[in-house]
Amino acid sequence: MNRLVIAALCSASLSIIPSVFAASPSQNLDLAGLKVKCNELQANEQLKPFKAVVSCKQTSTEWRPSQAEADPIQIANFKEVGASFTLKGYEVPFKSEALEIPSSFVSCSILEQVRKSVPAVDIELSCEALNSVDSIAELCAPAIDARVDADPSIVFEELTGVTYNSCNGKK
């Protein structure tokens, strides 16, 4: 193992993310690969105890009412009047005529899409704790929610420029 890597591994807190793997070109690991690598490093008796640092991030898109007002749309209404006749054994089948009636105007809503992001929320885990994690969402969602509840100002919001008109779809 490279001395630079050993020095990095001996620091007080270990991030099992890119800095640990400085000896090789950047390695991208999924959760399963991270568990394996953590256990391999933990088996090395020359290393001081360490914890994996998982940096959780979150991005979401949501729709909210826009300040812009949409033009109402006109929807045609229909009226049909008809009748059938009987007179001394004669029958005239039902026949109808269409009549004009005023159209209805319907208000439309415009929604705007907002992208929300939460920057890194770090969680330190022992390899044993990391091994018990089944999914990144299971690990990160509660930590991110707790951090946002404690400080809502960490959520960054930006308009995506995408709007939705309830009368005619996306613009």
pLDDT value at residue 26: 53
Whether residue 168 is contained in a domain is answered as no
Q: Is residue 24 part of a domain?
A: yes
Tally of structural domains, the chain = 1
Per DSSP, 138 falls in state H
pLDDT at residue 13, as a whole number = 27
Domain ranges, residue 127: 3-58+119-155
Summarised one tens digit per residue, pLDDT across range 30-56 is 888 889 999 999 898 888 888 888 899
Is pLDDT of 1 > 60?
Answer: no
Question: Strand, helix or coil at 7?
Answer: helix
In a domain, 111, yes or no: no
Please indicate, yes or no, if residue 77 is contained in any of the structural domains. Answer: no
DSSP run (H or E) holding 65: strand 52-65
Interval 103-161: pLDDT, tens: 999 889 999 999 999 999 999 999 999 999 999 899 999 999 999 999 999 999 999 99
CA–CA distance from 81 to each of 84, 99, 126, 151 (Å)? 11, 7, 79, 64
How many residues are listed for the chain in this entry? 171
Tokens 């009047």 sit on residue: 81
**Global pTM value:** 0.60
Q: What is the CA radius of gyration of the chain?
A: 32
